[in-house]
Structure 1
Amino acid sequence: MTEQRSGFPRRDAEGRILTLGDLLGVSLAGVVIGLLAVAVFDAGFVLIGDGEFGGANGWLAIILPAWLFWDDFRAWEFGAARVVAALAAAAVGMVAGLVVAGLAAGLPPLLSGGLAAAAFTLGFAVVWFHGVHWLARRTG
């Protein structure tokens, strides 16, 4: 773990993201990019006469952060630590996302889903990062 790969997010030699700030920054940027992509598709459907703008599901913005989380999950050694951390992070992320979606229920689906995706991303990233590092120190 002495060597570090260049690029962003910063990773160690095994490919694990080094800091919570890097994980949060890249994953939240992924939510924004995903939300913009969904908005473009939604606008395209509006142009061809299929619905009103904002009707697309904003939860789709979770695709890029989920891909990043999966990549970091695979970088950790096989074992219980990464599975337990991932399950706990998924539970916290889902609860956070669903609470935010419920609070934003009056907004268009694109916006309420986007806010929920951001809440899921924040909850998952914080619990995943701290959980996997703490459990890896305990078991390894």
Structure 2
Amino acid sequence: MSESSKPQAGGFPRRDAQGRVVALGDLLGVGLAGLVIGLLALLLFDWGFATVGAGDFGQANGWLAIILPAWFYWDDFRSWEFGAARVVAALAAVALSVVGGLLVAGLADGLPPLLSGGLAAAAFTVLYAVVWFPGVHWLARRTG
């Protein structure tokens, strides 16, 4: 293991010297934790607005829960040096995760937007990590 690829000491998620997440489980775990925090925040805001009569509970867009995982994924994307590997892996991950999220949202049609959007955001979060992580590592080995 070269000096530049050794994991940094301590902390979660575990990262290498360039700041890249070193394990798919770490990427997925932090992404899902961000999703849960986002969903809880949406529940709180939706409940608050429903309490003051500014709408019905459950009508907030659950897709908003993707903000924290997307921010985290963007941070991991930036930690990779500029090149085709990170761009291709990110485009493939975004395309597949958006399509997967939309499919889940379509299957959850009829549920309140908070729930159907939350399920779609969960699908996006999982699919992005599962495509991005192995994709960028495989492409980086092939091109670099």
- TM more than 0.5: yes
| Correspondence for 1:108 | 112
| Correspondence for 1:89 | 93
1:47 deviates by 1.2
SS of 2:48's equivalent in the other structure is: helix
The runs of 5 or more residues in structure 1 that have no matched partner are none
Structure-to-structure mapping, 1:1-140, within 5 angstroms:
1-140=5-144
SS of 1:99's equivalent in the other structure is: helix
Report the Cα distance in structure 2 between the residues aligned to 1:49 and 1:4, rounded to whole angstroms.
49
TM-score, normalised on structure 1?
0.98
Give the root-mean-square deviation of aligned CA atoms. 0.8
Cα deviation code 1:45-98 (max 9, x no counterpart): 011101111000000000000001000000001101000000000011001100
AA in 2 matched with 1:95 = V
Q: How many residues align?
A: 140
Q: Percent identity?
A: 75
Report the Cα distance in structure 1 between the residues aligned to 2:32 and 2:47, rounded to whole angstroms.
22
TM-score, normalised on structure 2?
0.95
